[in-house]
């Protein structure tokens, strides 16, 4: 009994020691200040640009997390693990953009960083860093004029579980860490059924399916959607249908967090270009 007790105590102390180390590491990463120079943009206010922005906030996934009205929502909450919350982006009560200027939008979208330079949690900016100037302006133009929503959502909270997962590299919390903050802003992208445009469309898939589109193996991972994955063997029509309906050719459903409501809004050109690109890699 004595020895079992001692062994338990040792295990407990080791666990506590590890947690302290993880906690200090994550706190450091969370409070790191990034010095980014947001590109200077003039945001158009014409109705064509706003209509384009309205489509983009769906096809780039913003509305999946921030809600259709952009008023924000709790994405995940579990005792012991933590809470992930997409902020209210409107100018309503509880909204962040009341005192935003264009730089603040650019900082958040392209760099994953907030006004004080510290990283946003779980905001997938690495997939938005290479949005073209035209697209980025349209997104901001739409967000700026969207109807105010009064919704006070709680703040993100990195709990014990999330701290450990993030420290082990199992959970990516700070996309600012993987962004090249000096990367140039691409101008307009030529739309067409080409691998180049497909690659552009696929940037928002890289956070989960990884830049090589080979996914992450194992339980709870993401599938390989490159030319060597199972979906490459589907017909083009089956591939489009899956991403439009959330149902695979065999009838099984695409489970969360696969954001198929986002891909369902893709234009024909975007879908076809994406297919060409994925089959080429
Ligand atoms: C995977 C979910 C997800 C997607 C997709 C997403 N966001 Fe976010 N976003 C978040 C979360 C979570 C936060 C809050 C981060 C925090 O509290 O640290 C956030 C925060 C923000 C902020 C607040 C910045 C600040 O300084 O307060 C802005 C602006 C923003 N997102 C814009 C966008 C836009 C525009 C898009 C689409 C181009 C988008 N987001 C897509 C999850 C997401
Ligand atoms: C937030 C993470 C996330 C993002 C972003 C994402 N996916 Fe997925 N995707 C998943 C997950 C998880 C699955 C597996 C779902 C399941 O198990 O049913 C999946 C499944 C798929 C499948 C089915 C593959 C198969 O073999 O069954 C395709 C095709 C796919 N995704 C394409 C895309 C494309 C294209 C994009 C970008 C436009 C994208 N995904 C963005 C997480 C994501």
Residue 114 to residues 71, 154, 189: CA-CA distances in angstroms?
18, 17, 27
How much distance in Å is there from the Cα of 259 to the middle of ligand 2? 7
Which of 125, 223, 262, 277 is the pocket-test mutation for ligand 2 (most atoms within 8 Å of CB)? 223
How much distance in Å is there from the Cα of 138 to the middle of ligand 2? 26
Q: What is the pLDDT of residue 217?
A: 85
* Number of neighbours of residue 143 by Cβ within 10 angstroms: 25
Residue 260 has pLDDT above 80, yes or no: yes
Which of 87, 155, 156 is the pocket-test mutation for ligand 1 (most atoms within 8 Å of CB)? 87
Q: Rounded to two decimals, what is the model's pTM?
A: 0.94
Q: What is the pLDDT of residue 116?
A: 96
Backbone angles phi, psi at 247, to 5 degrees: -120, 130
Residue 42 has pLDDT above 90, yes or no: yes
| Mean pLDDT score of the chain | 96
Is 121's C-beta closer than 6 angstroms to any atom of ligand 2? no
Q: What is the dihedral of CA 163, 180, 35, 96, to 10 degrees?
A: -60
How much distance in Å is there from the Cα of 86 to the middle of ligand 1? 6
């Amino acid at each position: 009994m004595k020895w079992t007790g001692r062994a338990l105590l040792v295990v407990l102390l080791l666990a506590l020691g590890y947690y302290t180390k993880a906690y200090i590491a994550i706190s450091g990463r969370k409070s790191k200040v990034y010095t980014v120079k947001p590109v200077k943009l003039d945001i158009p206010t014409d109705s064509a640009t706003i209509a384009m922005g309205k489509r983009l906030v769906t096809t780039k996934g913003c509305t999946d997390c921030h809600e259709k009205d952009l008023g924000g929502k709790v994405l995940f909450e579990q005792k012991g693990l933590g809470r992930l919350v997409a902020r209210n982006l409107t100018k309503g009560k509880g909204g962040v953009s009341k005192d935003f200027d264009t730089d603040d939008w650019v900082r958040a979208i392209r760099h994953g960083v907030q006004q004080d330079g510290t990283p946003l949690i779980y905001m997938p900016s690495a997939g938005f860093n290479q949005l073209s100037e035209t697209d980025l302006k349209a997104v901001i133009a739409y967000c700026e004029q969207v109807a105010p929503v009064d919704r006070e959502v709680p703040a993100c909270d990195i709990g014990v579980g999330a701290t450990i997962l993030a420290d082990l590299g199992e959970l990516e919390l700070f996309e600012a860490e993987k962004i090249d903050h000096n990367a140039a802003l691409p101008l307009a992208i030529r739309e067409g059924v080409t691998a180049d445009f497909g690659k552009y469309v696929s940037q928002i898939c890289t956070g989960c399916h990884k830049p090589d589109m080979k996914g992450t193996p194992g339980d709870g991972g993401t599938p390989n959607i490159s030319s060597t994955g199972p979906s490459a063997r589907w017909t083009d029509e089956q591939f489009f249908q899956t991403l439009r309906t959330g149902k695979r050719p065999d009838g099984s459903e695409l489970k969360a967090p696969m954001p198929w409501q986002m891909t369902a809004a893709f234009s024909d050109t975007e879908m076809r270009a994406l297919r060409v690109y994925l089959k080429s890699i």
